[in-house]
Amino acid sequence: MEKFSRKDFLRISSSALALSQLWSLSGCTRQAAIGNHLKNFDSQDTALLENIWRAYVGGEAAVARYGEKGLKKIFQECTSSLDGMLESFKMDAPYLTDDFLLALKLIDYGPIILGWYGKTFGSLSLSQQQQVLQDWLDSSLKPLRDVSYGLKGLFTLLYYEHPQVRQLIGFDKPWVLRDRVQGARQGI
């Protein structure tokens, strides 16, 4: 049986309340294009996504490997893949797209709502961001653990799927034919 203290209860109920407000007010109900090539993210979201990626996959270490510009470009391309993924979810399981956008808000405002820091995720230092994500992975609250575990998987999967990251790791399987898939959606 997991420990579930009164403090936990207060935290989760206040976060649920705050999230329901955020849900109705902001991006979670948004499905239309937002002025750039991305369908699900605006510039604020993309900055948040970049922060999360930095926290998961290395921050300074990754900068040293790819350069600040190079790393930024990798994150932008990962964001674009993520956007495509959310679009794809909409066909099979639209709730997954909504869940993801909601989880993103939880990460952004979580440090305030859950009472750990008085700032949003993006305003924390890299080590604080990593601490927040690790704390959630180890949380005694199952929903928080479920969300953070799923997000970590998704973010790291997209990052290591990037051709440049693979190349630097030394992964040298053949990598061709990306364009082939275009016709598949039209039918044989």
Residues making contact with other proteins (CB under 8 A): 55-62, 65, 81, 84-85, 88-93, 96, 126, 130, 133-134, 137-138, 142, 145-146, 149-150, 152-154, 156-161, 165-166, 168-181, 183-188
Q: Which is nearer to other proteins, 96 or 112 (CB)?
A: 96
User: In terms of CB distance, is 7 or 92 closer to other proteins?
Assistant: 92
> Which residue lies nearer to other proteins by CB, 12 or 26?
12
Instruction: Say how far residue 167 (Cα) sits from the centre of its chain.
Output: 23
The three-state secondary structure class of 93 is coil
CB of 107 within 8 A of CB of 74?
Answer: no
Work out how close the CB of 25 gets to other proteins at its nearest, in angstroms, rounded to a whole number.
26
Nearer to other proteins, 9 or 149 (CB): 149
Q: How far is the CB of 57 from other proteins (least distance, A)?
A: 5
Rounded to the nearest 5 percent, the helix, strand and coil shares of the chain are: 75, 0, 25
Q: Closest approach of Cβ 141 to other proteins, in Å?
A: 11
Backbone angles phi, psi at 133, to 5 degrees: -65, -40
Of residues 43 and 95, the one with the C-beta less far from other proteins: 95
What is the smallest separation between the CB atom of 87 and other proteins, expressed in angstroms?
A: 9
The answer to whether residues 152 and 137 touch, using CB atoms and an 8 Å cutoff, is yes
Tell me the closest approach of the beta carbon of residue 21 to other proteins, in angstroms.
Answer: 25
φ, ψ dihedrals at 118, nearest 5° = -90, 25
**Distance in Å, CB of 99 to other proteins, minimum:** 9
What lies within 8 Å, CB to CB, of 2 at 6+ separation is 140, 141, 142
Q: Of 120 and 150, which has the nearer Cβ to other proteins?
A: 150
Sign of CA dihedral 128, 121, 20, 155: negative
Asked if 100 and 86 count as a contact pair (C-beta separation under 8 A), the reply is: yes
Q: Token pair 């499905």 is at which residue?
A: 31
